[in-house]
Each structure stands twice: as structure tokens, then as C-alpha cells.
Amino acid sequence: MWLFNMGPRTQRIDMSEYERFLDAGDVARITIVQNEGVQVTIKADSLAKKVHQARLSRSGADKDKSGPHYDFYTGTSDNLQDQLIAEAKAHHVSVDIRPANNMAAEIWQYLFLAGMVVLLWVFMMRRIGGPGGPGGQLFNIGKSRAQVFEGGKSTNVNFNDVAGLEEAKEELQEIVDFLKNPKRYTDLGAKIPKGALLVGPPGTGKTLLAKAVAGEANVPFFSLSGSDFVEMFVGVGASRVRDLFKQAKEKAPSIIFIDEIDAIGRARGRSVSMGANDERENTLNQLLTEMDGFGTNSGVILLGATNRADVLDRALMRPGRFDRQIFVDMPDLNERVAILKVHLKPLKLDDAVDVEFLARQTPGFSGADLANICNEAALIAARKKRKQVEKQDFLDAVDRVVGGLEKKNKIITTEEKKAIAYHEAGHATVSWLVEHASPLVKVTIVPRGRSLGAAWYLPDERHLTTAEQMYDEIAAALGGRAAEDIMFGKVSTGALSDLEKVTKQAYAMVTMYGLNERVGNISYYDSTGQQEYSFGKPYSEKTAQTIDEEVSRIVEGQYVRAKHILSENKDKLTALATQLLEKEVIFKEDLEKIFGKRAWEKEEQPIKQPSPNGNGHAVAPKSEVPTSGPRPEEPTSA
């Protein structure tokens, strides 16, 4: 249907009336509007007829001699249009054809565009007037993205939820206590630390400590990441720093926590593009000014967390900005016991699960690793449809986390399986027969992850390492390749990870620890991280050649030593490999049957239990022998 008449004063007729006018010879011209209708113009002398006067006089169309005078609807039929043209020509009537003039469609189009403009304007006004936040607003892009904890809003974490890390907790508790009871400190003339930097490996609990501070402190706590300052627009980072400290000063006393602060705190002047004015450096400059610049802040404490303290700018690390550096190290045996107790609380445990035993099986594990193991053990128990988590589930979880998924259906040829068995037996034999190698837990030729087999050890928790200990470790790592060489007269690519490990260890002995007589008591290690940005090495080409020669001498010497040990115990090596091929997994007890009791067994470290006064007292370890496969070290790929 039409929304409007096709002419300003035309009268609507139907097609039968048009045909009567056409037969009467009254039609002078028709105009066909495609897909819409036809406009009819009557001859000037025919307008005086009564039939036309009666119809057209009401609209005044009879006075317009040029027309059009009538119109009628035809629709979109092409056949009807052809018929109209043929009839008009038969009656000597001129025909005009023009495209449709769809005013309704044009009006709707204009209305749609106008509506879009109005909606866009409303949207812009809301973003301009709306508050800043994690999503960011168009005109608030320079505002801080910090999450604020205040007025009853808490992280639901306090210091009681943080197991271990006693020294770090003590330092942070002192800051919280200063905010709660400032008079106790100010009466002595003490000033609150302006900042504390949490430094440590990933997963040790740096962010968890910050959450505990937020839960304990009764002051506003601003939490954000270092990457929240970085943006594609110039000047945004510095603007966000200014806004963050402005908000913190308005709510002082307050605490700001920046996680992964190395994202903006890297040392200046190390940009890859020489001379470039890095946006990150501008952000750092603003942070330095806000922390301890001309206008010193009072009542704002900054906490930072990073695992790359070596790359931070020295101006950021100085007293007056970060007054304290709190090192959060990997948990020791006692701390692992405490951490495991926290993560085991929500689990339904079997009575045979011993927390101390699990702690002894996981040296070198971080708090995050221990949490992951507890969760994996629960998942394994659920997969086996058990009602409680058993000890074996935890041992399987350690295997799963460290070694990867067990590949039971991996196709390995008989020759490869034999080579893997002798390779792993070589590792186990050498480590059993040298003094300083880590005690062996189990050996397997079942593929896990990327490794085709593994010899798993329980390394000592020591803080100092001698050259003799490192030599024994290198010999044990090369035992697999040495066994292949002795038994098959050829070696394979299975010792890749072993070779990588011993090469790095030998280079560290020569260039870092000063454990080589020829190079001497010199260390080329750069703890500041500057060396990685330099184009040259801190020693000459002649010294570099000497270093390479000494590294090669160390590795080859221990390889010869490993071959000598295996050659003298070839029958025991063969017996161990044969047993591996039969059982696929053997444990410490199986090695004792073949080699006898290990000559260098050490007493287990006693675990300190908390006493009523809060101090720890040593408790003798339980004499439990592991019967399954915990493995804190990376498995050796065969």
C-alpha cells in the first residue's frame, strides 16, 4: 500500500475506470512509476466532461491542465506494466516511465540515522559523567584502576591463613600494627616505613601476604597490578600514578599494593631502541616522585611484589621509597608441613595420610605447588570413586604435577624400551654408588609428559654446595648415556636434558662459583642484570677459550668416571635393567636388594613442632620409607 498519493491533487481510481477513460479517448498521457502505480493525465478538451468535472472539481485538479489528474495502483508485476504500455500505444497515448520515489523509505532512513545520533550522544554523556573503574571510561582513561578495600569490604584473608613465612609475616604485621597503634611507635620517635618490597620466586605467597595485609589493616587498601599503568596512549601511566596517590592521600592513612611491579619499575636506560623516551620510564619517574619526591606523602604506605628484583631501578629500591625488602623464599620442611595442613583442611583424608611424610617428599616445592598437589590428589581420588583421599593419591599427584600425564598407550619398540631401561638403570646405579648424589626414590620406564623414562630422587635441603657434590651430580646425570655406551656401543638422543643440565652446571662452576683452579677465584656473574644488555663479555677471547676447555674437561672427566663405575658394576646394572623391563617401576627397596644398603645414608631432618609459647621444638622424624613415586626433581628424559 501507498503511504501517500502519487500526485499532490490526483484522484484515486481503479484500473477498470482507467480503461473506460482510455476507450473514450480522454487520456493524453500516462506516467508509470516502477513497482508502485500509474499517473493519468486527461486531455484538456476532455476535462470539461461531466464525469471528470464531478471527480476533479473537489480537489481543484480540473483547473490544472498539465496533470496528472488520476492515479491507480499496479504493484510490482512486470507483465501488467507491459500490458499498460501496449494498450497506451494502441490508443496513441504517450507513456513515461520513471523510478519509484519511495518517500516512506527515505523518511524511515532519516529517522533511523537521527535515532543513532541521539543514542550515541546519550552513551557519550554517560561515559563522560560516569565513574572510573576497572573497565575504564572514555574521558577517565587517566584515572586509577585500583581495587579499593575499605568500609567492611575485605579479602577474607588474614595472617592466620598464611602458613609458614614467619619472618615475612612479622615484618608486615609490624606495619599493620603501626597503622592500628601509631602512638606506641611515635612516642619513641619511630617513623612508619614508606614502603616494603616482597621479593621471591613465583608461587611462594607474595600476593597472599598482601591479601592478608588488606584483611588485617583497618585502613583503605588499594590493590592493582603493574600492567594496569601501561596503556597505548602517551602519558596515561603517569596520570594513573598521580590519580592513585591522590586517592590514597585523601584517605590516608592507607596502603597501596602494586603486584608485579617490575612491569613499570624496570631500570631506566635499558630500552632496546637506543635513546627512545619509553612511556614506561615516564610512569616510573612519576612513581618515584610520588613515593619520595619534593612533596613527600605522609600516611601512604606502598607494598610491591616481584620475582625480578634484579631488573628494578636502583632509585626505586633505595630507603625512603622501599625501606624494607622482604625476601619470600621457598618453604623449608617445617613451613611445608604448616602449608600442607592449611590445604589439607577441606579434604576428607584417610587416616594413613601423614603430613610430615608428604612434606619430606616435596623439597623445593612452593606454596602454590603444594596447593596444586592437594587439589590433584583430591581429583585423583574422585576419579577412582573413593570416599577419602588416600596416601597413594598424593604420591600419584606429585608424579602428575612434576612428570606430567602418564602415557600408558604410547607405542615404544622393543629396542627403544631396552635402551630406555639401561639409560635409567645407569642413572640409578651411579647415583647409588657416589656419595653426594641425591637419594633415589624410584625408577620407571613408563613414559610421562615428554620423558620416556625417569629416575626420581629426593635431594637434600642444603644451602651450600661443594665442588665434590657438583661433580657427583654431573656424574649421576651422565650415567644414562654412559650405560648406553657400555651396553650397546652407541649413544642416542635421549640424554638431551641430561647434557643440558650438566653443561649449565659446569659453566656455573667455572664462571660463577669460582670452583675451577685454572680460571681461579673469579665470578663473571652479574647480579644487577646489566650484563644481559651489554654487547660484549666481561672477559677476553683467550679467557673464553679457557672457560670452554675447562667446561669440556669437567663434563668429559665425569663421563669417564661414570663409565668406570658402571663397568665395575656391569652385572648389577644388567640385573637392574632386567628388573625394570619386567616391572617397569622399581623402588629404593629393589635397589637395596641388588646393590646392598647405601653407604652414605643420612639422618632425616627433625621437624619443629609449635610449642605453647609459640617457639618450635624439634621432633624426631618418623621412620617411614616411601613405597611409591614422589619426585621433586624434573625426570630425566631417556
Exposed, middle or buried, 271 (CB in 10 Å: 0-12/13-18/19+)?
middle
Q: How far apart, in whole angstroms, are the C-alpha atoms of residue 213 and residue 416?
A: 55
Beta strand spans in 68-134 (E): 70-73, 94-98
Nearest to 436 by CA among 561, 521, 537: 561
Dihedral sign computed on CA atoms, order 526, 530, 532, 535? negative
Which residue has cell 625408577? 443
Q: How far apart, in whole angstroms, are the C-alpha atoms of residue 19 and residue 567?
A: 118
Q: How far apart, in whole angstroms, are the C-alpha atoms of residue 194 and residue 615?
A: 30
Neighbours of 277 (CB within 10 A): 9
Pairing of the two strands 37-42 and 70-73? antiparallel
CA within 13 Å, CB half, 590 = 23
- Eight-class DSSP state of 1: -
Q: Determine which one of 356, 376, 424, 484 is catalytic.
A: 424
Dihedral pair phi/psi, residue 601, rounded to 5°: -65, 135
Is 106 part of the annotated catalytic residue set? no
Using CA atoms in the order 625, 631, 636, 638, what is the torsion angle rounded to 10 degrees?
A: 70
The H or E element that residue 305 is part of is strand 300-306
Q: How far is the CA of 15 from the CAs of 21, 131, 205, 249, 419, in angstroms? A: 10, 66, 88, 84, 98
Pairing of the two strands 440-444 and 221-225? unpaired
Strand order in the sheet with 585-587: 454-457, 440-444, 585-587
Chain centroid offset of residue 206 CA? 16
Q: How far apart, in whole angstroms, are the C-alpha atoms of residue 385 and residue 378?
A: 10
- Eight-class DSSP state of 267: P
Cell numbers at residue 209, please? 601476604
Q: How far apart, in whole angstroms, are the C-alpha atoms of residue 434 and residue 479?
A: 11
Q: How far is the CA of 329 from the CAs of 166, 205, 210, 478, 586, in angstroms? A: 11, 9, 15, 30, 34
Q: How far apart, in whole angstroms, are the C-alpha atoms of residue 74 and residue 35?
A: 7
Strand order in the sheet with 221-225: 147-149, 221-225, 254-259, 300-306, 195-199, 324-327
Residue positions counted in the chain:
638
- Eight-class DSSP state of 494: G
Chain centroid offset of residue 271 CA? 24
Catalytic residues: 424
